[in-house]
Amino acid sequence: MDIEAMKNDQDIRGLIRLLDHRKNDVQWRAADALGTLGEMACEPLLRPLVYPKIHVRIGAIEALGAIKSPQSVEPLIHTLRTDESSEVRWVAALALGEIGDKRAIPALLASLKDEDRYVRYGSVKSLEQIGWSAETDRDRAYYYLALQDWDTIKKLGKSATGPLIDLLRDQHPAIRAQITEILSSIGGVEAKKSCEHVLRDPDENVRWCAVLSSLRCEVPTSQLPLELSKRVRTGPNVFGAALLNFFFLGLGYDYLGKWWGLVVVEIYMILILTSQLLFGLLMTVIIWIPIMALFATQTFFMAKRESALSG
C-alpha cells in the first residue's frame, strides 16, 4: 500500500483503517500521515479513541497530538482519566502536552497520582510543556515523585508523606520499596501506619524492606509477625494447574515451575499417539479420561500443599 499517496489523496478513513494493520511499521506510518492532515482529520480520529484494540487507540492519539487541535483536548482528557490501558493513558498525557492547552492541567495533575510510573512521568513532562509550576510542597512532592527524584523528596520531609503514601499503590515493587524507605526516614504517625501496611505487601522484597524500616517507623518488633501474617497469599492458581494437566498432561507441572513438566508433555504425546494407533480415537479418550482425572487431582493437592508452604 502507498501511504504517501493516501496522504496526498487525504484518504483519512483508509489511513485510520491502517492503524489496525498487522505490521507495526504500517501502523506508525499511518499515524504519522494522519498527523500531517490537520483539522480535517481531527473529528474522524476521535472515534477510534474507544476502539477495543490498544494499538489503534495509541495511533489515533499520536496523530491527534501532532495535529494539536483544541477540539481533541476534552476527548483526550477523558481518555487519560478513564482508559484501562496504562500505555494509552501515557500517550494521552503526552499528546495533551503537545497540544499545550491549559484545560488539561487538572487532569494531568490528577494523573500524577496514577499507579503507573510511565503515566506519571508523561503527565509531569506535559505539565512542564504547558507551563505549569508547583505552588505548594504537596504539589512539588507529586512532581518530584513523578520524576523519581528521591533526593529532593527526602528534603521535602513531612510535606511529602501524603503523596508518598498515595503512591504505595504503584505497580512496581522497587518503587514501593523505595517509598517505604523514604517514609521510614521521615517518620511520624502516618509513616508508621504505612509501614504496617507495607508489611502485608504481596512482594517479598517490599515486605523485607518494611521489616528493615520498622524500627525507624517505630513499629514494635513483636508486632512484625502478626502484620506479616495478614498479607494476601499469592502463588500459582491450583485450579488452573489441575485443569492444564487434565487437558494436556505435563503443562500443569510446567506451569508450577517443575523442570520435568515438559518431559512429561513429550511422554504424554507419545503415549496418546500410540494409543490412537492401537485402539482408535474413541477408545483412547475412554482410556485416558480417568487417568487424566487422577493426575489433575494429584496436581491440585500438590499445588495446594506447595502454596501453603510458600505462603
In degrees and rounded to multiples of 5, residue 231 shows phi and psi of -70, 155
pLDDT of residue 231: 57
All CATH 1.25.10.10 domain ranges in the chain, comma separated: 3-133
pLDDT of residue 307: 66
d(CA 45, CA 64): 7
- The DSSP output letter for 19 is T
d(CA 149, CA 152): 6
pLDDT of residue 154: 92
pLDDT of residue 207: 81
pLDDT of residue 305: 78
CATH placement of domain 146-229: 1.25.10
Give mean pLDDT in consecutive 10-residue pieces for the chain, a chain of 311 residues: 84 89 88 91 92 93 95 97 96 97 96 96 97 92 96 92 91 90 84 76 81 74 57 66 85 84 88 90 90 90 72 51
As given in the structure block, the three cell numbers for residue 73 are: 483536548
d(CA 76, CA 105): 12
> What distance, in Å, lies between the first and last C-alpha atoms of the chain?
55
pLDDT of residue 258: 84
C-alpha distances in angstroms, 242 versus 211, 232, 252, 267, 307?
35, 22, 6, 18, 14
C-alpha distances in angstroms, 103 versus 25, 116, 278?
33, 22, 73
Q: Are 97 and 130 in contact (CB under 8 A)?
A: yes
pLDDT of residue 102: 96
Which CATH number is correct for 3-133, 2.40.30.170, 1.25.10.10, 3.40.50.720, 3.40.50.1110?
Answer: 1.25.10.10
pLDDT of residue 89: 97
pLDDT of residue 224: 58
Residues 6+ apart with CB under 8 A from 64: 35, 42, 45, 46, 72, 76, 95, 99
Neighbours of 245 (CB within 10 A): 30
- Rounded to two decimals, what is the model's pTM? 0.70
Count, residues in the chain? 311
